[in-house]
Amino acid sequence: MTTPTELQAAPTPREVWELLREGNERFATGNTAAPNRDTARLQQLTSGQNPAVCVVGCSDSRVPVELLFDAGFGDIFVIRTAGGCVDSAVAASVEFAVDGLGVDLVLFLAHEKCGAVGAAVQALESGDMPTGLERVFVEKIAPSVAQSKIRGEHVEFAHARNGAEHIVTRVPAVAIALEAGKLGVVGARYRLSDGRVETTYENFGD
């Protein structure tokens, strides 16, 4: 059985993604290996970090990224905002993960029953936009809501794909690394109902 302890040793971005998917399957079936979660790993990381993956995801407490991929300390560089919205600070964090940490994969992870996505859907359907700061993420998610209606697909699928495409087009370091074959970008949706992650977008630069 492969485990996320091998993430950093995976030779290609595609293989990193496959290892993550295998970890998610272990999580969903209750067969977790729980790697890299002991005090020895903590001590090892005091000298620095070398994550293989950068995940841009939602702040929702029901979506603990390391757990759902059966990973541990130092395996995943996680950036979380409501709805996984990408602003300049998030884009800069992704750039740091790619250029500064050398991650092999960037994953945009949406999820089932997302409150931020639900708020955006409600706002567009009612025409009643929030007046507080909640409006920031509603406006960022609105294009996904519109696209989902055009395509006739679930809004969270559209949001996962749009989020991944946004990262490719708005973070120059990502586009450069993709073109060089050093990085992969994936969009996916996590199902609260059964713990599984489903792919909605893949770009490995080929």
Q: Binding site: what residues are annotated?
A: 58, 60, 111, 114
Annotated binding-site members for Zn(2+)? 58, 60, 111, 114
| DSSP H helices in 45-87 | 65-68
| DSSP H helices in the chain | 13-29, 39-44, 65-68, 88-95, 115-126, 134-151, 155-170, 172-179
From residue 85, how far is each of 74, 91, 98 by CA, in Å?
A: 23, 10, 18
Residue indicated by tokens 């395996």: 75
CA dihedral 66, 72, 74, 76 (to 10 degrees): -20
